[in-house]
Amino acid sequence: MDLRPYRHIAVQPIAGTIGAEVLGVDASRPLAAEVIGEIRRAFLEHLVIFLPGQKLSPQQLLAFASRFGDPMEYPQLRGLPECPLVTPVVKLEHERHNFGGVWHTDTSYLEQPPMASMLYALELPPYGGDTLFASQYAAYEALSDGLRQALDGLIGINSSAKAEVTRSREDRLREAGVQSKVLVGKHPIVRTHPETGRKALYMSLGHTVRFDGWGEDESKPLLDYLFTHQAKPEFTCRFRWSPGALAFWDNRCALHNPVNDYHGFRRIMHRVTLRGDTPT
């Protein structure tokens, strides 16, 4: 961990293992390379960072995200007509399921899942709609030596068609007239982060269906144990959104779960997804 003080931003951790608020940044303005470097350092150290009080058009959000990676299209939803690489994430008053409302890391069913995601709050319910995040470094490091050794050689099969997550996007796909394709990705259950070199669990209730070479029934007992373990409270933080808040999280070592507790209210967010590499 880099222990140098930050010179251009203020970083305030919000929990013991994951999450920090970053202050002193106006993401709508061109930022010096030194500022971008410190934001990235905070992102790598805390896995998810939150920048409150932003005022961003879709184009400004995309420009800010582009300083940290290569924006990509989301495979299951359409972007904004005026800015296709910015995806609206919407739950309307009459809808019961929210988008991605289960513990997951984004689109791990792709051969090269995204490195990171940014989510920007436009319209929020009067209460509820928080997002939980969980450190998968901490989850892996808390396992016994024997279980870590057993998991190190396993490959997970991740599917876009797992029932827990498909329910959460049915409304959006139907309204957009999109035909959903089943996508499957095979990735190590234990992933080595390409920038930090740390090991993390890389699996989730939202997408992982079994271990490669194992049947679903054989896989279920161990997967169920790990799904519960990886979201233990001591590995998590909870973010309460405010208008203009921007979250930036690392999909390679963190899970997230948007809490679906605001039925009857509208929640509108804009998201940018940053292209990643092949997990190893």
Which residues are catalytically annotated? 104, 106, 256, 271
Which residues are CB-contacts of 271 (< 8 A; sequence separation ≥ 6)?
74, 86, 87, 88, 89, 117, 118, 119, 120
Which residues are CB-contacts of 224 (< 8 A; sequence separation ≥ 6)?
none
- Cβ count near 93 (within 10 Å): 11
CB 248 within 8 A of CB 43: yes
Q: Is 136 helix (H, G, I), strand (E, B) or coil?
A: helix
CA terminus-to-terminus distance, the chain: 21
Which residues are CB-contacts of 169 (< 8 A; sequence separation ≥ 6)?
76, 77, 99, 100, 180
Measured CA to CA, the distance from residue 84 to residue 119 in angstroms comes to: 15
- Cβ count near 108 (within 10 Å): 25
CB 49 within 8 A of CB 42: yes
Max Cα distance, the chain (Å): 53
